[in-house]
Structure formats: C-alpha cells, structure tokens
Structure 1
C-alpha cells in the first residue's frame, strides 16, 4: 500500500524596493478585483467558477489591468472562497439557521484584504532554482530576477517535486512564496502494533510507550502568553493592538514549532519500532468535551488539529500507518482489564482501576487504550485486503 504525500515549501522573497512596489500594487489590484467579483457573485447568486467567468472576466481584466491568466485566478479564488463558506454553513460552523451570526454572514459578500494571498501558476511565475530567483507577473509587467532564500533541503524539494500553483504572500512587511510539492509515493510498512497518542491539557501529547510531551515549562510559556494577551486587550490602545498582532504571530510560530518537534519524535519512535500511530478522532472536540474554564482556555488556544496533521504527514513521508479512533471513555477505561468507571480517575494525573487495581499515569493509560483501538480498527479495515 502506498500513500501520496503533498507538502508546501515556503521561501522568503528578497525583492528590491522597486520589485516590492510592483508586488504590492499587484496584490492590491487582484484583491480589489476579487472584492468586485465577490459582490457580483453575491448579488446574482452565481458561485460556480465557469458561470462567474461569463459575468466578470472581461470587466476585471479591463478594469484592473489584469492579464488573462491572473483574471481567471481571481475568479477561481472567489469561487473557492464561496465553496468554503457554503460548506461551513451546511456544517453549522457559522451558527444555526436563523441566528444573527448566520444571517450576517449570508447577507454580506465575502471581502478580501488588499494584501491577501494570491495564487500563481507556471504561466505567471517561473522558478530559477539553481540561482534562487523567480520571474513573476505583476500589473507593472513581468518582474524578473526576484531573489529568494531557502534551505538546501527546500531547494532540493522544489527542484524535484514542485507541482501546481504557488501563493504570493505579504506578511509583517515580508514577502513569501508558498509552493506545492507532490512527493513520490512512499510504501506503507505493515504495522506490527500501534503507538497510541493521547492529546490533553496537562500534557499536549502522551504516548502508550510512556513518553509525555509538554510539562511545566511549556505550560508556563502558554500561561505567560495568555496573561500578556489579556493585559494588552484590556489596554486597548493603538500600540497595544500593534503588539497584540505581533504577539499573535509569535504564538503561532511557537505552537507550530512545538507541534513539529512533538510530531517528529512520535513518528521517529513509531518508525524505529515498526509500529503504526493511533490518533484520537478530534472532530468537534470543542463541542463534545466539558471542562473547567481554565482548561477551556487551553483547549481553545492550542492547535491540536495542527499537531494531528503534522503527525499524519510526517508519518506518510516515513511510510508509517496512521489510524484515527473514537476517543470516547479512553480516560475512564482500564487498559489492563477494560473496566470503565468514572471513579477510575481519583485525580487528574492518576488512574486506579476500581475493578482490578491496575495503576498508571492517567494519560499513559488513555494512550494505551487508543493503541488497542488502533490495532482493532486496523484489523477490521484491512480484513478484506488480507483475505484477498
């Protein structure tokens, strides 16, 4: 069995002032045009890409100085945005039917920031990876020899596997290109068992092997960031808002770096031992669990979904099997005898089975239950393949 691995590679552009001005004017033009297409789509209730082209293509191409390919990308960006919006509406993510929030969303056209990211294909963007430059279309003409910086590994991945569109991004005064890369299929190693991963509050991730990722140091950083954010929000000044925006980026980078390191350690251990990885299915976790207020803050502020995604794609690159299991009652079930009881958890850290007397750290016990469910789930889902 093989798995397709799709990655994105982000490189930092190093444009001259003249090149940066051309890029900024281009983002402004394409996003102003996108807002116009969005208003037209909302008024006429026309959201399909090809239908929108009939109504908007000539107008935005002539009115905003866009090349033919750029105009089509603008229309597709708007159509994709409405596809995502309608999916969120169907799934109830933007409020129940008739709610004030939902009515507001449904009655307002989607708006695009002047510096929102914009996609480029190979007709509008060409890479010269050997000299680390790109040639890119702008509203001021083709801008050539825009330098970029990337690691040796990123350059190698771009040269061998870049495919499809790249997004031009302007963030915090810096310019980036985010390229899609399709890596070759990696043979999936049949798992000889599963490493269960329990995601939690006190410890971000705990494995069935007993490894706990987080601890007091990481939680202290999260608490300090939360307190600083609270004080800045209370101030409400312009400088406080600027600092809040900066801190938000810092927190996102900190969370992503932490999640990357945790994911790498878990995948490395699974690969070394020839096992798969069993993860909790965290769909709708915020609506499903009941926690005290301090724990709710942590649950909503940490990107558990991102951690799961990092584990999944790193596992795919290594040929490690991943399965998602139902996490219900994993914290109350004894991993030794299977007895389920709320009284098995006398406190946050301790698991003590009231039936057989088995004792273990609560998160490790839950991870072992997840590992067992991974084994059972894999056996069921691959029974037909084994029979064939």
Structure 2
C-alpha cells in the first residue's frame, strides 16, 4: 500500500473564508492552551492530557471531535522533540532550549479534520466542514483531474485545512494499492545521481542539472541581497522565494523519477540506485562548492523513485556506491586515476573511455544484477546424494552379539 497526499484548492465565498479563518484562530488558540497544560503537568500523552483539557475545550465552543483533534495535535507536537532527544540528534543547549518552554502554534497553523468534521461530495466538487460559525456546506474545491480521481477512489483518514499565501487548501491522505510486483525482471536500469548531472542512466539517458544550478545560483544571489536588508518585507520575500525554489526542485525530481520508472516498467526491468546516506559527511569540498552539496536533493529524488516504482510494481535495488565511478565495467580495474576529471572516464588498463556518469551507471546496473541474483536465488535441496540404505541395519535398541 502506497500512502500519498493529494492537495486540492478551496474556493470559498467571503463568508465561508471568514468562517474558516475564525476556525483556525480558535483551534490554534485552544491548541496553545492545551500545549501549555501538557507542559505544566508533564503529560504529553493523549489520554492523560484529555483528563486535564477536554472539558475546558468544550467550554471554549469546540465540538467534541474537534476537541479530541486539538488534544492530539498538542501531543503530537511534543513527540518529535522527544524522538530527537532519544536518538541523540538533539543534545546539549539545543535540547535544553527545546524542552524549556511549551510548543507554540501559529494563529493560522494547519488543522486536521476527520470524517466526522469534514465530508466530501466528489460529484459536486464541494466539501462540508465544521467551523466555529456552524457547519459550512457547499465549499467548492478544485484540483488536477488525475488527483481528483485518485482522491475520490482512495481517500482515507484525516484531511488538513491549510491557509497559505492567501489561499485555502485541503491536504487529503490517499492509500493506493501496490501494483503486482515484477519478481523476475529481465535486467536493471542503473541510475547514477550527481550535482552536475542530476541523473544518468546505464542506457545513456542524461538529465542535466545545468538549468537547476543556474537557477539556484541566481536565487542564492537574490537571497543574499534580501538577507543583507533584513527588513520585514525582505524576510517575507525570502520566505516566498524559499518555497518557490523548493517547488521548482520538487517538480524536476517528480519529472525525472516519473520518466525513470516509466522506462523500467515499459521494458520489464528493475532500477538500481546508490545508497547515498551520509555522503555529505564523507565528501570534503572547497567552501565555494559546499552550498551545492548541501542543497543536493538526491534523497528526495530517490524517495520519489521508490514510491513510484512500488506503485508500478518495478523492483528497486539499493547498492553500495563505493568506487562506482572509478571501476572499469569491462576489465574491473579500479583506480582513482581512471577518473581524470569530473566528466570523463578512461581505464588505465584496457583503455575503455566514456562519460564518467554513464560508466558509473553501468557499474550500478551490474551491482544491482548481482544483488538481485544473490537475494532472490532459490534454495534448492541437494537431491544428488542418495539416501543411506538402512533396511538391513538392526534397530538402534538392538544389542550386539
């Protein structure tokens, strides 16, 4: 089962928009009070917090189910902090600061609604939602036709009401059944990921990152100018530009992953990718290049490939990335000298030469083949050795002569 989030845009009337805005303010004010209560009593768990807050939340005018959702929201806000401290990712002064005060919610922070508080009419493209002004019915929504079909067929669980940049949205969770997995791929497509070339396949397809790099350099220059001003307007523009850049990267990664999975599905192959976890800690670069390394969105691209492949039934194999760009796929010779520069590969033993990223993708494909064969090789019982004939032997309990 693949879990996804579908975004739809709400088109409320002025009256409906005012009711939605008042609702967000009310529930977030209540969530702040519940958060302060959880902090004061030291009860971040939902059942314990309910004993201290439920009656007061009902007195504030919240519906019974909305009150439960507000309590859950306050509890869930503390869970990531506890998890980071437990795993050691939040330590020292940062941990002390995070636990020294209650969690605070923005006045327009998103709020979850379940099926008791929000209902969908997919034929009319409207929703009905609980608000502090009463039940608001007939709020129109719109979205991509494919997304609306998925929403109507697979929506499950809660939906989040979001107000962003003057526009109202609903984020709904959908559960899509996996396609029948291809358990016998005829081969694999190796995918090498990088900064100069976002993705290069063993087939020779290259998704160049030059345009994205130019865009990011331009955004970095504008960001530096706005940060130097440090005015309220500049900070607002910084926030908007940050979201714009994130959307651009997100769109590129979606397009690339969709194309890779489509090729693999059409040709009956699997996909081989590298395990790049911790690559930023292993690589040492000049200061001028660290910004590009830190903004490299390889994990997002791999995540998109993984879930799209799962939905299409395409197997994905993750391999060890060591020396994939230094090994010759023809003779196996591995040496740093095989990579004279970033773009080129030239084997010092057999003379094989070509684009370095494509050579690395071929090595990834070969390792994916071996990994798949090793993991999925059937265990066959040894039937060649005949069983011992014990028909003439005395039973174990019989005594000797």
TM-score norm. by structure 1 comes to 0.91
**Which residue is 2:26 aligned to?**
29
1:241 is aligned, of 228, 232, 235, to: 235
Distance 1:207 1:231, change over 3 A: same
* Conservation of the 8 A alpha-carbon contact between 2:193 and 2:298: yes
Q: Which residue of 1 aligns with 2:262?
A: 268
Which of 70, 73, 87 is residue 77 of structure 1 equivalent to?
Answer: 73
- State the Cα deviation string for residues 171-214 of structure 1 (Å, max 9, x = none): 11110001111123310113222212222111111122221212
CA deviation vs aligned residue, 1:331-357 (integer Å, no higher than 9, x gap): 333333333322222111112233433
Give the drift of 1:133. 0.5
Q: Which moved more, 1:109-118 or 1:333-342?
A: 333-342
Please state whether the residue corresponding to 2:204 is helix, strand or coil. Answer: coil
For residues 203 and 362 of structure 2, the distance between their equivalents in structure 1, rounded to whole angstroms, comes to 8
- Whether 2:38 is the aligned partner of 1:41: answer yes
Q: Deviations over 1:268-293 (max 9, x none)?
A: 11112211112222333333332232
Matches within 5 A, 1:188-203: 188-190=181-183, 191-203=185-197
Q: 1:292 to 1:194 in 2, by over 3 A?
A: farther
- Unaligned 5+ segments in structure 2 are 382-401
What are structure 1's unaligned runs of at least 5 residues?
A: none
- How many equivalent pairs are there? 380
Work out whether residues 351 and 359 of structure 1, in 8 Å CA contact, stay in contact via their aligned partners in 2.
Answer: yes
1-side partners of 2:171 and 2:159: how far apart?
A: 5
2:130 is equivalent to residue 137 of structure 1: yes
Of the structure 1 ranges 330-339 and 305-314, higher mean CA displacement relative to structure 2 is found in 330-339
SS at match of 2:115: coil
After TM superposition, the structure 1 = structure 2 runs for residues 48-197 of structure 1, keeping only pairs within 5 Å, are 48-63=45-60, 65-94=61-90, 97-98=91-92, 100-190=93-183, 191-197=185-191
Stretch deviating more after TM superposition (313-322 or 367-376) = 367-376
3-state SS of 2:177 partner? strand
Shift, 1:215, TM fit: 3.9
- Tell me if 1:344 matches 2:338: yes
Q: In the alignment, is residue 20 of structure 1 matched against residue 13 of structure 2? A: no
| Residue 247 of structure 1: how far off its partner (Å) | 1.1
Tell me what 1:324 maps to. Answer: 318
Query: Would you say the 8 A contact 2:178–2:312 is kept in 1?
Result: no
Partner Cα separation in structure 2 for residue 17 and residue 246 of structure 1: 25
Distance 1:373 1:106, change over 3 A: farther
CA separation of 1:378/1:36 partners in 2, compared to 1, >3 Å: closer, same or farther? farther
Aligned residue for 1:187, secondary structure, equals coil
TM-score by length of 2: 0.88
Which structure exhibits the higher relative contact order, with contacts defined as CA atoms closer than 8 Å and separated by 6 or more residues?
1
For residues 271 and 369 of structure 2, the distance between their equivalents in structure 1, rounded to whole angstroms, comes to: 10
The answer (yes or no) to whether the contact 1:271–1:318 under 8 Å persists in 2 is: yes
SS at match of 1:201: coil
| Equivalence map 1:363-382=2 (5 Å) | 363-382=357-376
Q: How has the CA–CA distance of structure 1 residues 49 and 370 changed in structure 2, closer, same or farther, with 3 Å as cutoff?
A: farther
2:186–2:269: 8 Å Cα contact kept in structure 1?
yes
Equivalents in 1 of 2:198, 2:349: separation in Å? 29
Q: Indicate the SS of the match to 1:137.
A: strand
Q: Distance in 2 between matches of 1:334 and 1:168?
A: 53
Q: Which has the larger radius of gyration?
A: 2
CA distance in 2, matches of 1:75, 1:344: 60
Distance 1:159 1:314, change over 3 A: same
